[in-house]
Homo-oligomer: A and B are copies of this chain.
């Protein structure tokens, strides 16, 4: 027996500590709010430091650590996926998209800075993300870095995050998109496809990125990919349920916005009760992928459980 048993895992402490690491690195990566062009940097920082849980960057760190890597070596990639997530929220909130006025309890970027600056702040975060991804080569090597850049780019492209957002809009059957013709694929492909692309692809890529950069062997990498895919789907199903059942005050954004826009969500397709069951099943599948990993996977397993029962 080891002299000292491993301390019990405190997920909240882990999240807080890794979150601070990410926050400090993000603060250093984005030029200061008074650097030219000042309003652009101010808009980027406004959205970046608006109370995110830093889920995606923490998944990069935790996945690297689960296969024996060091957080510092993958930190710039962790920041990159948060920049990408933030850019996507800014663009999704635009008047021409979801037209959201509130996010994380404060005015959305375009409400605070105007629509033009919001578009450009998103674009600048998107570009800066790839600058940081490339910088990771200094701590994690060239080959692994190039593989991660290629995978992240694909995960946020036409058959990933952006493609999912398009399916999401098409499924709303907006009149202004009617002239584009019928796109029969959306109903038949269903809400699983939308959520896999819109949300799960980047979450899966974040988990894979940490593992690839830390030099994971093929078998653990496959297991982590499965974990990331099911975790990402569960995360979005819970998001849909909270939008349906939560209050605006707790969520920090307009509750029932999905229903108001007739979005194709899990509650809309399956009802709240069955959606809860689907979220539970996907969470179990994520955890099952790491069966036998022991304490190495403790953070990832606990994180999956915590995300299932979150209230915001």
Contact = CB atoms under 8 A, between A and B. Distances in A.
Interface of A: 31, 35-42, 44, 87-88, 91, 94, 96-97, 113-117, 119-120, 122-124, 126-128, 130-131, 133-135, 137, 142-143, 145-146, 149-150, 153-154, 156-160, 162-163, 165-167, 169-170, 174, 176-177, 180, 183, 185, 189
A96 B279 CA distance: 39
Copies in the complex: 2
Given A146-B142, A157-B128, A185 B38 contact: yes
A158 B116 contact: no
Contact of A137 (B31, B39, B146, B174): B146
Contact of A165 (B42, B120, B150): B120
Task: Please list the 7 inter-chain residue pairs (A to B) with the smallest Cβ-Cβ separation, ordered nearest first.
Answer: A96-B115, A131-B153, A142-B142, A134-B150, A134-B149, A37-B166, A130-B153
A44 B119 contact: no
A96 B114 CA distance: 9
Contacts of A157: 124, 127-128, 131
20 contacts: A31-B158, A36-B159, A36-B163, A37-B158, A37-B185, A38-B183, A38-B185, A39-B177, A41-B158, A42-B180, A116-B174, A117-B166, A117-B169, A117-B180, A127-B157, A128-B158, A130-B149, A131-B157, A134-B149, A135-B150
Nearest to A186: B37
Nearest to A154: B131
A120 B166 contact: yes
Given A116-B97, A119-B91, A119-B96, A162 B38 contact: no
